[in-house]
Amino acid sequence: SPLDLKSFCQELIEDIQVADRYQHPILLDLQEACNFVEVDSKILRYILENLLSNAVKYSPENSEVYLGVRCQDCQICLQVKDAGIGIPLSDRQRLFESFYRATNVGTITGTGLGLAIVKRSVELYGGQIEVQSELGEGTSFTVVLPLS
């Protein structure tokens, strides 16, 4: 059934912010045409929870996180962007492997499973995930999913 994406994203962002001790502002940029599209809310929630919690976890206090949502050609495109620590080029191709963590995580804890499961779920769904990153500048994950 059609999903009220705007409310859905706003609630998800609130959940992330409640658990975020560094109080990162999260900017939602949702294209009007995206509201009430047919999309599986379970997979969407799983993807966004993981990408947004990474974005706040790997960013300095108060730096802004961006969530963009676009819809076109029967696809939904999600972009989660942060101004955090970035990912070294040499780590990037192993990033989606289970238990793999980049070499620059320092004291930030994690198990290295989130992205592996996100990538599998996205691909099972017929979608794609890509990462762009600049070390010390920030990271952007883009997910494209076919709409049902």
Give the footprint of ligand ATP on this chain (CB under 6 A): 50, 54-55, 58, 82, 84-87, 95, 101-102, 105, 110-116, 139
Q: Which two tokens stand for residue 135?
A: 């070390």
| Residue number, 54 or 59, with CB nearest to Mg ion | 54
| Residue number, 6 or 110, with CB nearest to ligand ATP | 110
| Residue number, 90 or 148, with CB nearest to ligand ATP | 90
Q: Smallest Cα–Cα separation from 105: which of 52, 54, 34?
A: 54
Give the Cα separation of 79 and 90 in Å (integer): 23
139 makes contact with Mg ion (CB under 5 A): no
Give the Cα separation of 127 and 17 in Å (integer): 27
| Partner from ligand ATP, Mg ion, none contacting 101, C-beta within 5 to 8 A by type | ligand ATP
Residue pair 12/19 in contact (Cβ under 8 Å)? The answer is no
Number of residue whose CB is nearest ligand ATP: 110
